[in-house]
Amino acid sequence: MEKELKILKYSDLSKLIERFHAKGFPVLAPVRKGKVVEIELVESLGDIALDVLLSTQSAKKTAFPKVEKVLKYTLAKSGVTQHPVDPDTARETILFGVRPCDASGFKSLDAIFGEAPGDQFYLKKKEKTAIISFSCPEADEYCFCTSVGGGPGNTAGSDLQFTGIGKDEILVEILTEKGKQIAAIFADLLSDSPAGVDKTKFLADVKVVFDSDKVVENTSASFNNAALWLEQSLRCIGCGACAFVCPTCACFDFQDEQNTKQGVRLRLWDSCGFSLFTLHTSGHNPREVQSQRWRQRIMHKFSYMPQQLHVVGCEGCGRCSRACPVDMNIKEHLTAIAQVG
Amino acid sequence: MSELIKKVTQLLNDKTVDVFIGYGKGSADRIRAIFVRSADQTEKLVLNSACTQNLAGYILKHEVKHLGKIGVLANVAALRSMLQLASEFQVKDGEVLVLFANPDGTLTEFIDFNSIEVFLTTTDTGITSDEQERIAQLEALTVSERWNFWNKEFEKCIKCYACRAACPMCYCHRCTTDVNQPQWIPVASHERGNLDYHLMRAMHLAGRCVNCGECASACPMDIPLNLLTYQLISPIKTDFGATAGMKADAVYALSTYKPDDKENFII
Amino acid sequence: MQEFEPKIVAFVCNWCTYAGADLTGTSRIKYDANVKIIRFPCTGRIDFMILMKAFENGADGIIVSGCHPNDCHYSTGNFHARRRWIVFRNLLNFAGIETERIQFSWVSAAEGFKWADVVNNTVKKIREFGPNENYKKIAVSTLFNEEGTSNE
């Protein structure tokens, strides 16, 4: 649909949260918790950290939580009885105050979980999530969204995008049908946008540092370049921080937990950085050392996903690099890969 | 600082070491570990007050060991880690070349574990007064308040295992948490999974933790994990007379005993 | 009004406490039936993780009991256990778990009366403490019964 532009007063933002709650929609937004910024349920505008660069973890937990029950079962002498878990129990939820990279991150997850027959646990939650993103007036040295096809004002994946344009005014872009329905809740607070409002004036300047096509090409050709992967990964300690904070990482593990009478099957986040990730029952591990696992991380995002799902598995949000305990900086690594050969 | 670059350049040129682990400039205002392998890379080495990472964590990493003889710039925490690793037969005397930067800018090269042991008796190795303060504050709460505190902290935990990966003492090839026959520690990052994991790790570090704080600095969710292991250091010293990382031939406090170990809770 | 009946799990060593508990039985000494006894070769074999599992699976209280120091069937197992318990109790207390829910004891094969006392006193104490609510909230059964798919 043709996007609509409206103006909202910044001072009316708190009314939006009230209206959403009045309609019975929970609101998830960035909240400060000490040094980290988590995305959580909020009661009012005052709870929301709108001035942070971005949340520590991505917003993927709204449709792909860190622990998710996918099956229940009971145990008796006669055997095991399965009790299916309804994947469609989420309420219509509004994800508010996230960044463009959060919203566009969902396109990788949509591609992965949407592949036929479709993962209902993800899809049903995602269907029920409306995304109101705020464009970025600032960026830091970890951000590189513009190098992977995104940007501080990118609207991909958002239902509505808000941009502060000064003088207590917010430019509201209504981008989807769902966005239209959400906007209807506060239609009386919206006024028509004057012609020629240029939001790019209010966006951060995020310089392009590499050509992502070149990165995809070089990555795909570098499987055997052992020295490259070793050099980049020597300080990597093999934790899961990067994968877990990443908006596009979707690998998961299943674990059954039970007592003598009943049990649950849980889906959990997993990381290709863990040494156990590819350990076979035979004891053989095709990715025995960290450089092989680092190679996998980069190739999955910049070679396999583009080939198979036609999407680059990275939004340039830089969360992985900020969260990394040993300062693995993916922007640096990708820039180096772009220059290979 | 150029003292360090001179020294490392010489070590690499003489082939005394094949790789030197030191600090280099990282992203933004961070410092990162760097692995210098030739004399032309030594200018990347930096040394300032932000250089606090315990580099001893890397001396057991397979791909680092594979590069050849290792030299490392150790801080006090790393020196203690090495002695503790030595007492657990993970590193031999003289296997790693150890440099220490003195506050006056000079370098000390420790030729053997014994010289490290002697040095550590002259320097402060305990937890900081801030950390002691935080532990005291927690100890002053009721049991119930402490449960709420830790559960609230553990809610943030995503089981990324950065704490385990960053800890020089967590080198077990198959960590208890990864064993699934039986699955002692739930993998999930729910309350029970997080509580079990962190309690287990604290127990497995009791008597081995050298209070380097890497666990807490590594945690992407800013959980004060170091307090859990630090809190055990004092009772282990008082009750068993044992402190980790001070002697290369020390015996692990929990694999030994005294016939008259005191307690007041066994009836 | 239904009085709360604590569920106690006892981890005991085969040679002393288990035999002692047997003696309690053969002497026809009555004691509270709330306890389930699990036999180990030695207290030295008891891992703290199994104590955590007991709480998670519904135990309101735990008894850990073995041979008196110097009487261990394997000479030194109970000495190792004792050190482990000292450390574990410290950790549990700091983490906010009531250490009084775990009763440690030395009960020999000849102490039939003592075993009955240990059990009865523990049951009485746990009855006063009440059920282990903190652990019930995080047990598998709670996950099973919870609505929805995630606990966000």
Residue C67 has pLDDT above 80, yes or no: yes
- Render the burial of C32-51: b for 16+ CB within 10 Å, e for the rest: bebbebeebebbbbbbbbbb
Nearest Cα of chain B lies from the Cα of A43 at a distance, in angstroms, of: 19
Neighbouring-strand partners of residue B200: none
Domain edge (last residue) among B97, B120, B143: B120
Which residues, other chains included, contact B194 with Cβ-Cβ below 8 Å and sequence gap of 6+?
Answer: B154, B155, B157, B159
* Per-residue model confidence (pLDDT) at position C147: 79
In this structure, what token pair is assigned to residue B19? Answer: 């790789």
* pLDDT tier, C7 (very low <50, low <70, confident <90, very high otherwise): very high
Which residues, other chains included, contact B260 with Cβ-Cβ below 8 Å and sequence gap of 6+?
Answer: none
* Per-residue model confidence (pLDDT) at position B213: 96
Q: d(Cα B247, Cα B84) in Å, to the nearest integer? A: 7
> Which chain A residue lies closest to C144 (C-alpha atoms)?
A264
Neighbouring-strand partners of residue B101: B107
Q: d(Cα A107, Cα A256) in Å, to the nearest integer? A: 29
* pLDDT tier, A219 (very low <50, low <70, confident <90, very high otherwise): very high
Exposed/middle/buried for residue C135 (C-beta within 10 Å: 0-12, 13-18, 19+): buried
In this structure, what token pair is assigned to residue A66? Answer: 């860190």
Neighbouring subunits of B (3+ Cβ pairs under 8 A): A, C
Assembly ipTM: 0.95
Among B1-5, B238-242, C8-12, the range scoring the smallest mean pLDDT is: B1-5
Residue B226 lies in domain: 129-255
Question: Per-residue pLDDT tens for C117-141?
Answer: 999 999 999 999 999 999 999 999 9
* Best residue in A35, A66, A234, A258 for a mutation probing chain B (most B CBs within 10 Å): A234
* C149 with A85: Cβ contact below 8 A: yes
Q: d(Cα A241, Cα B223) in Å, to the nearest integer? A: 14
Q: How far is CA B140 from the centre of its chain?
A: 27
Question: Per-residue pLDDT tens for B42-80?
Answer: 999 999 999 999 999 999 999 999 999 999 999 999 999
- Nearest by CB to B161, from A240, A255, A289: name it: A240
As its CATH architecture, domain C8-145 has: 3-Layer(aba) Sandwich (3.40)
Question: Per-residue pLDDT tens for B236-253?
Answer: 999 999 999 999 999 999
B13 lies in the same domain as B92: yes
B134 lies in the same domain as B112: no
* Per-residue model confidence (pLDDT) at position B87: 97
Q: d(Cα B23, Cα B13) in Å, to the nearest integer? A: 19
Give CB contacts under 8 A, 24+ apart, made by B182-188.
Answer: B183/A255, B184/C49, B184/C53, B185/C49, B186/A255, B186/A257, B187/A253, B187/A255, B187/A268, B187/B159, B188/A67, B188/A255, B188/A257, B188/A266, B188/A268, B188/B159
* C104 with B265: Cβ contact below 8 A: yes
C-alpha closest to that of A241 among B210, B222, B227: B222
Q: Report whether the peptide linkage leading into residue C41 is cis, meaning its omega lies within 30 degrees of zero.
A: no
Neighbouring subunits of C (3+ Cβ pairs under 8 A): A, B
What SS3 class is residue B100? strand
Q: Report whether the peptide linkage leading into residue A117 is cis, meaning its omega lies within 30 degrees of zero.
A: yes
Domain edge (last residue) among B120, B148, B165: B120
Q: Does residue C144 belong to the interface with chain A, where contact is any CB pair within 8 Å?
A: yes
* pLDDT tier, A58 (very low <50, low <70, confident <90, very high otherwise): very high
Helix (H) or strand (E) holding A17: helix A13-22
B41 lies in the same domain as B78: yes
Written as one string, the DSSP assignment of C24-93 is HHHTT----TTEEEEEES-GGG--HHHHHHHHHTT-SEEEEEEPPTT--TTSSHHHHHHHHHHHHHHHHH
Residue C152 has pLDDT above 60, yes or no: no
Residue A39 has pLDDT above 80, yes or no: yes
Question: Per-residue pLDDT tens for B169-224?
Answer: 999 989 999 998 899 999 999 999 999 999 999 999 999 999 999 999 999 999 99
The angle that helices C19-26 and C112-129 make with each other, rounded to 10 degrees, is 100
Q: Report whether the peptide linkage leading into residue A152 is cis, meaning its omega lies within 30 degrees of zero.
A: no
Q: Does residue C142 belong to the interface with chain A, where contact is any CB pair within 8 Å?
A: no
Nearest Cα of chain A lies from the Cα of B190 at a distance, in angstroms, of: 7
* pLDDT tier, A1 (very low <50, low <70, confident <90, very high otherwise): confident
Tell me the residues of B at the A interface, defined by beta carbons under 8 Å apart.
Answer: 26-28, 30-35, 53, 57-58, 61-64, 156, 158-162, 164-166, 178, 183, 186-190, 193, 214, 217-222
Extents of the domains making up chain C:
8-145
Nearest Cα of chain B lies from the Cα of A233 at a distance, in angstroms, of: 9
The amino acid sitting at C28 is R
Extents of the domains making up chain A:
1-63+88-206, 209-341
Provide the mean pLDDT of chain B. 95
Q: Does residue A139 belong to the interface with chain B, where contact is any CB pair within 8 Å?
A: no
Q: d(Cα B196, Cα A38) in Å, to the nearest integer? A: 23
The amino acid sitting at A258 is Q
Mean pLDDT across the stretch A306-325? 96
The amino acid sitting at B111 is I
Residue B1 has pLDDT above 70, yes or no: no
Mean pLDDT across the stretch A45-54? 94
Residue A254 has pLDDT above 70, yes or no: yes
Does residue B232 contact residue C54 with C-beta atoms inside 8 Å? no
Residues of A with Cβ-Cβ distance to B217 under 8 angstroms? 325
Residue C151 has pLDDT above 70, yes or no: no
Q: How far is CA B188 from the centre of its chain?
A: 25
In this structure, what token pair is assigned to residue A104? Answer: 């566009």
What SS3 class is residue B211? coil
Domain edge (last residue) among B120, B147, B175: B120
The amino acid sitting at A322 is R
Q: d(Cα B171, Cα B174) in Å, to the nearest integer? A: 9
* pLDDT tier, C2 (very low <50, low <70, confident <90, very high otherwise): low
Length, in residues, of chain B: 267
In this structure, what token pair is assigned to residue B56? Answer: 């001893």
Question: Per-residue pLDDT tens for C29-62?
Answer: 999 999 999 999 999 999 999 999 999 999 999 9
Nearest Cα of chain A lies from the Cα of C147 at a distance, in angstroms, of: 8
What SS3 class is residue B33? strand
C-alpha closest to that of A233 among B66, B28, B46, B29: B66
B193 lies in the same domain as B215: yes
Q: How far is CA A9 from the centre of its chain?
A: 28
* Per-residue model confidence (pLDDT) at position C148: 72
For a pLDDT cut of 70, what percent of chain B falls above it?
100
The angle that helices C77-95 and C48-56 make with each other, rounded to 10 degrees, is 50
Neighbours of B122 (CB within 10 A): 6
Per-residue CA distances from B69 to A292, B20, B72, B166 (Å): 22, 9, 10, 22
Q: What angle do CA B122, B126, B131 make, to 5 degrees?
A: 150
Query: Does residue B221 lie in a domain region?
Result: yes
Does residue B168 contact residue B54 with C-beta atoms inside 8 Å? yes
Q: d(Cα A247, Cα B160) in Å, to the nearest integer? A: 15
Count: domains in chain B? 2
